[in-house]
Amino acid sequence: MKKLLFALLFSTRAIRFISWLNRKRVPIICYHSVTSDAAPVKRDPHKQHIPLRLFLRHLDYLQTNYNVVSLAEFVQARRNNLSLPDYSVVLTFDDGFEDFQSIAAPHLRQRKLPATVFIITDRAFGRFVPEGESFLNWDQIRALAAAGIAIGSHSCSHLPLSELSLEEVTKELSESRALLESNVGRGPIPLSYPFGQTSEPISRMAQSLGFTCAIASDAGPNSKDASIYQLSRTVIASDDDVAPFAARVSGLTWWISRGKRFLHVGQTVSWKPSFRQYGSTAQEFYVD
């Protein structure tokens, strides 16, 4: 039903009006995995593995309607109180799936689109294969960095930081940063919190450790006043065609989610995924 609504709003250009209202805000678009059309992932409970054909349609839409800027450019503008072009967006990829290099990166390079990939550094030392997934190794990460892809931290082990002690959080963040520096150089390193979860002490820790910025949970496009250590991401689901994708990027789905939370004041929602061995974004961040 929601997809039909988004399709109607898209066809009537209502989503473009929402996008215009939010044109000064910057969505940080968060993908996870881009899969080959010839070898789709059969089981995808967290809607992480988007088929290439849909991903390319998303890129077509962005290049027609938005200005894709790098995360570093966005952060520099925020730090120096500079204006970005209207309809600016940032492309990011959480978790460091191997298919970023083999499938997504060549198309980004061909289109000259900047992107940042966030690495779970423990996974870069070898294959990690729950549900048949695999992750970038250090050789691949270094090759991506050399090709101009920005590399960021997604912690060492992808544990929910809000459930750890500050000492454990420090270890997760500092060790992942050190590993990235030793492998890709001492340039700017951004952070994406596992599961998008943070707190004021954790955000202060990220700042004190020298991360350039940190991305948290799905809370719509970023205003000029957004804290650069609690930035919002816009998570894309693997079954989003162009209309739902446009709704997410415009900020419409965040407005819907915020309205639903307002109507259910006092209702507690858990962010945790359905399995703990590995997971990324909880299902409630998706509007299906």
Q: Are 190 and 153 in contact (CB under 8 A)?
A: yes
Q: Are 128 and 88 in contact (CB under 8 A)?
A: no
Of the candidates 60, 40, 57, the one whose C-alpha atom is nearest the C-alpha of residue 49 is 40
pLDDT at 268: 42
Tokens 């929601």 locate to 2
Name, in order, each residue with C-beta under 8 angstroms of 70's C-beta and a sequence gap of 6 or more: 90, 114, 115, 116, 150
pLDDT at 11: 87
Whole-angstrom distance, CA of residue 7 vs CA of residue 15: 9
pLDDT at 280: 39
Q: Which residues on adjacent β-strands are paired with residue 235?
A: 30
Name, in order, each residue with C-beta under 8 angstroms of 76's C-beta and a sequence gap of 6 or more: 82
Whole-angstrom distance, CA of residue 76 vs CA of residue 244: 30
**Alpha-helical runs (H) found in 36-194:** 52-65, 71-79, 99, 105-111, 138-146, 166-184
What's the half-sphere exposure (Cβ side, CA atoms, 13 Å) at 246?
A: 26
Whole-angstrom distance, CA of residue 156 vs CA of residue 40: 28
Q: How far is CA 234 from the centre of its chain?
A: 7
Here the tokens at position 13 are 């250009």
Query: Which domain CATH number covers 57?
Result: 3.20.20.370
pLDDT at 47: 87
Buried b (16+ CB within 10 A) or exposed e, 28-46: bbbbbbbbeeeeebeebeb
pLDDT at 127: 54
Specify the DSSP class assigned to residue 133: -
Specify the DSSP class assigned to residue 281: S
Whole-angstrom distance, CA of residue 280 vs CA of residue 127: 17
Domain limits for position 16: 2-285
List average pLDDT for each run of 10 residues in the chain, which is 288 residues long: 80 92 97 85 81 97 98 96 95 96 97 98 74 84 96 96 96 97 92 95 96 92 93 94 95 77 50 38 35
**pTM of the full structure:** 0.88
Specify the DSSP class assigned to residue 276: S
pLDDT at 161: 96
Instruction: State how many domains the chain has.
Output: 1
Whole-angstrom distance, CA of residue 285 vs CA of residue 99: 23
